[in-house]
Amino acid sequence: MARSPGGAGPALVVLDFDGTLADSFGWFCSVLNGVADRYRFRRVEPHEVEALRLQGARAIVADLGIPRWKLPFIARHMHALAARDAGAIALFPGVPAMLADLAAAGMPLAILSSNRADTVRRVLGPENAARIDAYACGASLFGKARRLRALLAHRKVAPERALCIGDEVRDLEAARALGCPFGAVAWGYTDAAALAALRPEYLFAEPADIARLVRRRELV
């Protein structure tokens, strides 16, 4: 985890969901080739998975030969599958304790996700869902920056006071587009080394690292 020389603490922690809070990568891989057959893009062989984890979403879309016009239809179908299978998707170990620690410290929390809000709440469960102050869900694959901008405006939080946390290149890109500090998690969809190479402000090895940083009340 990066060290901070001191500064103002965050006024809002914005968390991605899939791959950051929810351990959904195995589920994603289990349904992907069925979606590929339905929407006629290239199937992914088991030996290709790790190579794809080194890439950002734009590179993966190109690699699989998915036309941009198909993305909303694919996303809608994937969200329906996630809602169907939400009972089989669990939070990462340590996430409930991290959310509890942040809430106990009085830190406002938001979730920024491409997934549906009802699915997010179901996977979180009532106790964890109640700790989230704002849900900015249903963002398009490449629409997180726009959704993040609206979230910050609604919460009246300056970008430099919002700590964004996620597991994908597109999460980092959305934060940087608005000037928000970004913390990459090492346990999600994108390979940790690939994220580290993009020089996020923070790299978290485990969920407890997030709570420890926020309790210090300072950002880089």
pLDDT digits (tens, 9 = 90+) for 97-135: 999 999 999 999 999 999 999 999 999 999 999 999 999
- Taking the C-alpha atoms of residue 86 and residue 217, their distance in angstroms, rounded to an integer, is 34
- Taking the C-alpha atoms of residue 80 and residue 93, their distance in angstroms, rounded to an integer, is 25
- Taking the C-alpha atoms of residue 133 and residue 11, their distance in angstroms, rounded to an integer, is 12
Residue whose entry in the numeric block shows the structure tokens 């405006």: 153
Q: Which residues contact 149 (CB under 8 A, 6 or more apart)?
A: 178
Architecture of domain 12-24+90-215: 3-Layer(aba) Sandwich (3.40)
DSSP 88-154: G-EEPTTHHHHHHHHHHTT--EEEE-SS-HHHHHHHH-HHHHTT-SEEE----TT-HHHHHHHHHHH
Query: pLDDT tens-digit profile of 161-216?
Result: 999 999 999 999 999 999 999 999 999 999 999 999 999 999 999 999 999 999 88
Domain spans of the chain? 12-24+90-215, 25-88
Please state the pTM of the whole predicted model. Answer: 0.92
The C-alpha torsion from 73 through 194 and 101 to 156, rounded to 10°, is: -60
SS3 call for 64: coil
90-91 and 22-23: which strand pairing?
Answer: antiparallel
DSSP 6-54: --PPPSEEEE--BTTTEE-HHHHHHHHHHHHHHHT-----GGGHHHHTT
The answer to whether the CB of 175 falls within 8 A of the CB of 193 is no
Residue whose entry in the numeric block shows the structure tokens 């940790």: 192
Reported confidence tier of residue 219, pLDDT bands at 50, 70, 90: low
Per cent of the chain over pLDDT 70 is 95
